[in-house]
Chains A and B, each alone.
Chain A
């Protein structure tokens, strides 16, 4: 589904991604972990070109999206993204937040979009918040709305950039539960997170990044029970 070839990203003279070759299949739930500054968020943001790679290629559903001629806006419609800081639009109601993009991009008309939004809101139990503004919501509610907003576009792939890092501890659960539900339904997901329990439970594969490279990867069981890479062992010993 998404393939990166020798993906490199430099900010100025600092190499943040140092040649990443990775293939993510449809239906996979890939969790990316690693120490801060290892480039995991940059890697994720490169996948939908929020960061433009310095070198290398990214292929999504058979198209080279790093090609100059590729229509990145079209491609992004198929990749939902959830941010650490939620990034809901504060001047719009929850309903407008969800329906804005599908309607403005002509994917649905207003009624269809609102119907879809209502369905999604029902599912996360926030349908009564449809007319509320983001500032009236808790962090957990905001993040769940942000997930729903991305889902309203019917994406094929969801990218999560530390979705629970800005939340109060008691709200982390509701967001992770929703993500786990999505995973169960077969959504292809790439998740950057520090939530190791989530990684263990939901991931089909875990990537460990360090210094701009994927230094190790494995299934969750092997990854946590029998780590082999010395850098990974050190990392796990610090956080577990």
Chain B
């Protein structure tokens, strides 16, 4: 009985006194904002890189082949080095001014990182669409980009939605690494509370629960989206 009471007390301490729950909320807000903009940036980069790669690997134009090569190098480097190292390098390389908004820093770092993975997912999606779709679009007079945008992409996105959702989930959780560059995200908030209460475990568990809720919310959202996209399948 006594132990239960102690546990309850430690969680109470980690949440209520000095309005500590506000620290978590603030942290959640930062985590969500970073994740959100990183996902947007990642998808934008990923889409661009994927389209460049599938469209130009065998292009006759020298410049486009060079661009495609550069995309490959980007993917290789990002996928081949640890996220935390990238984070520190980008932080010290680009955002040398410490006054830069922490959400911007986080979003850019994680967006650049996620872009490489998203690019490969989208490329797989584009390549899963049979060649005839591109030919049909082109034969109707649409140009390459229009066909990509109107015909290939919508189908590709539908096919890769589960993989893409997975990447988003990973991204949300990995934003916790941002605490190494002094971003006050959810994990940082938990550590801050822990340093105040001299009891680190309850805040960490609370933070973990918050991540779990975030990820579950996203999963739900993706499921709804996936159902919407599934129209046109045989019913």
Contact = CB atoms under 8 A, between A and B. Distances in A.
Contacts of A48: 139
Given A91-B155, A91-B232, A135-B232, A85 B142 contact: no
Contact of A105 (B130, B142, B231): B142
Interface in B104-144: 130, 132-133, 135-143
Interface in B146-173: 146, 150-151, 154-155, 158
B135 A92 contact: no
B213 to A, nearest CB: 33
Given A83-B135, A91-B158, A73 B232 contact: no
Contacts of A90: 155, 232
A92 B132 contact: no
Contacts of A136: 234-235
B154 A91 contact: yes
A77 B138 CA distance: 9
B18 interface: no
Nearest to B133: A87
Tell me if B's interface is mostly helix, strand, loop or mixed.
Answer: helix
B143 to A, nearest CB: 5
Contacts of A46: none
B143 A73 contact: yes
Contacts of B151: 89, 100
Contact of B132 (A76, A79, A87): A87
Given A73-B143, A76-B138, A135-B234, A104 B133 contact: no
B227 to A, nearest CB: 14
Given A90-B232, A105-B142, A135-B233, A50 B158 contact: no
Contact of B142 (A88, A92, A93, A101): A101
Contacts of B139: 48, 50, 76, 79-81, 83, 150
Interface of A: 48, 50, 73-74, 76-77, 79-81, 83, 85, 87-93, 100-101, 104-105, 133-136, 146, 149-150, 153
Interface of B: 130, 132-133, 135-143, 146, 150-151, 154-155, 158, 231-235
Given A50-B135, A76-B139, 4 more contacts: A73-B142, A87-B136, A90-B232, A91-B232
11 contacts: A50-B135, A73-B142, A79-B139, A87-B135, A89-B137, A93-B232, A101-B137, A104-B146, A104-B150, A136-B234, A150-B139
